Each structure stands twice: as structure tokens, then as C-alpha cells.
């Protein structure tokens, strides 16, 4: 039979090595730049079991050394199947990838005329017209701090009528445990309004799936399934569990709240 070895010489799965007499080898060791497989039999040499040695692929091209000159090392079918097996699914990450989270810029903000705790904002999210968004931030953030501010917008929520004004999106913010302190999420310097934000590595931008529709977000409760897993780190970086929130310019952060909830 055969031992499965990767291109770099790493053992992938246990098996048999077809030596001159089809001996079975049961233990693996690595020293002095080569692998050694030892038979369960007591006799030395290839004729009676003993030791089989081979170099990593980069040095020996996958052929065993002098202990068994006729034994070739090949990749097993099981190893090939393992290599083609997709990684396990992550329902929370998949749900987060369906959210349309964008960089926004507040063009104008004012107090809601019919609600003491609400601001109304005009926000540029890269569309032909700015969006109108209502935010319950009056008790936490001075209105002048919103003017011309870069913000993070959850853009594929269904519009809601908030005391006579239709709100089309949500500014994402961070709060402490007591909800006495609230801070807006901050896109990194150089972020462009309208860019879609993602969770993960720097090269994840090109792998973003299409965003869900507002109806799908509501019907499947996508935001509700993702929100409990959003927080900030001890460096104030916004993350989905271990996946940082990113734009092309870097990671999304907040001003000072660590290990805080994002909503």
C-alpha cells in the first residue's frame, strides 16, 4: 500500500508503505531532514521489516531512500478527498456577509421635531441621493459632532416610520454594559462613502456575496442573528467574534469603548 505525504513532505494520513515485500510500517519519526517509518517486525533491513527512510518532496522528489529503493511515496485518495473538502460552514459569518454595511458621511443632522431623543440625518452612502436616517443619539452625542462625520450604516433594513419621518437605515454604534455611554463606529481615515464593509481578512473584499434584500433581512431575522456576536476588542476594533470589520482603508474602530456591544 502507501503512505500519504504532502508536497512539503508532511504526513497527511496513516497507511501502508509498499516495500519490496509489502511490509507494514506503523511509526513515524523525523530527524536530520528525513522521515523514517519503522516496521513492527524485529528484523532489520527491507527484507525483514525494520526501518524505511525517505526525504521530503523538496529533496527526494517523493522517492524512498536506500532502505527500500523500490518503494514510491504517493498521495492517497483519502488525502486528496480531504484537500477538496470545503471548510465547515459558519452560519453567523454567512448571515453577517448578507448584511449591506456601508461607509457613510453625515451631510446634515438636526433634532427630530416630534421626538426628543431622535436626530434626523442626511447621510451619503454612495447613492444618487442621500438617505434620511433617524437615530436615538440625542442623549449621547452632541449634534455638532455628527456634522460631516464618517459613520457606519446598516443599509439593508426595511424603512421604518419614526414619528412621521421614514428612516432608511441605521447608524451603527457601540455602548457599554449600562448603556450610559454610546459612541459611533468610526471608519478608518481614507474610507470612501458608499464602500461596502466586510468581516475578515484584508483580501475578503472581493469575496463578498450579494447583500440580502431588506425583505430577506426582516423575514430571516438576519440582523437579530448577527448582532449578539458583534463587539469591540481591547484595542477598540469592531469584530464579528474574531473577524475584524474592514474597509479598503483599514479596520473599523470606536473612540474608547472596549469589549462593548455593537448595535
pLDDT at 204: 93
Residues 208-247: pLDDT tens digits? 999 999 999 999 999 999 999 999 999 999 999 999 999 9
pLDDT at 111: 97
Radius of gyration over alpha carbons of the chain, in Å?
29
92-262 fold: OB fold (Dihydrolipoamide Acetyltransferase, E2P) (2.40.50)
- Least Cα distance to 184 among 154, 222, 164, 217 occurs for 154
Distance of CA 77 to the CA centre of its chain: 30
Q: Does pLDDT of 86 surpass 50?
A: yes
* Coil, helix or strand at residue 88: coil
Residues 125-177: pLDDT tens digits? 999 999 999 999 999 999 999 999 999 999 999 999 999 999 999 999 999 99
The domain segmentation of the chain, as residue ranges, is 4-84, 92-262
Percent of the chain with pLDDT over 90: 66
- Least Cα distance to 181 among 104, 103, 105, 255 occurs for 255
- Least Cα distance to 37 among 71, 79, 7 occurs for 71
pTM above 0.85, yes or no: no
Q: Does pLDDT of 53 surpass 60?
A: no
Interacting residues of 226 by C-beta distance below 8 A, sequence separation 6+: 92, 95, 96, 99, 240
14 against 158, higher pLDDT: 158
Q: What is the mean pLDDT of residues 192-207?
A: 96
Amino acid at each position: 500500500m502507501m503512505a500519504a505525504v504532502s508536497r512539503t513532505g508532511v504526513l497527511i494520513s496513516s497507511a501502508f508503505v509498499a516495500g519490496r515485500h509489502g511490509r507494514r510500517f506503523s511509526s513515524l519519526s523525523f530527524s536530520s531532514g528525513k522521515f523514517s517509518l519503522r516496521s513492527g517486525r524485529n528484523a532489520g533491513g527491507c527484507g525483514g521489516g525494520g526501518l524505511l527512510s525517505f526525504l521530503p518532496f523538496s529533496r527526494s522528489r517523493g522517492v524512498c531512500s536506500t532502505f527500500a529503493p523500490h518503494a514510491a511515496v504517493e498521495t492517497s485518495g483519502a488525502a486528496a478527498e480531504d484537500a477538496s473538502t470545503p471548510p465547515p460552514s459558519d452560519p453567523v459569518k454567512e448571515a453577517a456577509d448578507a448584511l449591506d454595511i456601508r461607509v457613510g458621511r453625515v451631510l446634515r443632522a438636526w433634532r427630530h421635531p416630534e421626538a426628543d431623543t431622535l436626530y434626523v440625518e442626511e447621510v451619503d452612502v454612495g447613492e444618487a441621493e442621500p438617505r434620511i436616517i433617524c437615530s436615538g443619539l440625542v442623549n449621547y452625542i452632541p449634534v455638532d459632532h455628527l456634522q460631516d462625520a464618517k459613520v457606519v450604516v446598516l443599509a439593508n433594513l426595511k424603512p421604518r416610520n419614526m414619528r412621521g419621518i421614514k428612516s432608511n437605515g441605521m447608524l451603527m454604534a457601540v455602548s457599554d454594559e449600562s448603556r450610559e455611554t454610546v459612541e459611533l463606529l468610526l471608519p478608518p481615515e481614507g474610507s470612501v462613502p458608499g464602500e461596502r464593509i466586510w468581516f475578515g481578512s484584508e483580501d475578503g473584499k472581493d469575496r463578498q456575496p450579494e447583500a440580502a434584500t431588506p425583505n430577506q433581512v426582516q423575514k430571516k431575522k438576519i440582523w437579530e442573528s448577527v448582532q449578539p456576536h458583534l463587539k469591540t476588542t481591547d484595542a477598540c476594533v469592531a469584530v464579528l467574534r474574531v473577524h475584524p470589520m474592514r474597509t479598503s482603508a483599514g479596520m473599523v474602530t470606536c473612540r474608547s469603548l472596549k469589549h462593548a456591544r455593537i448595535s
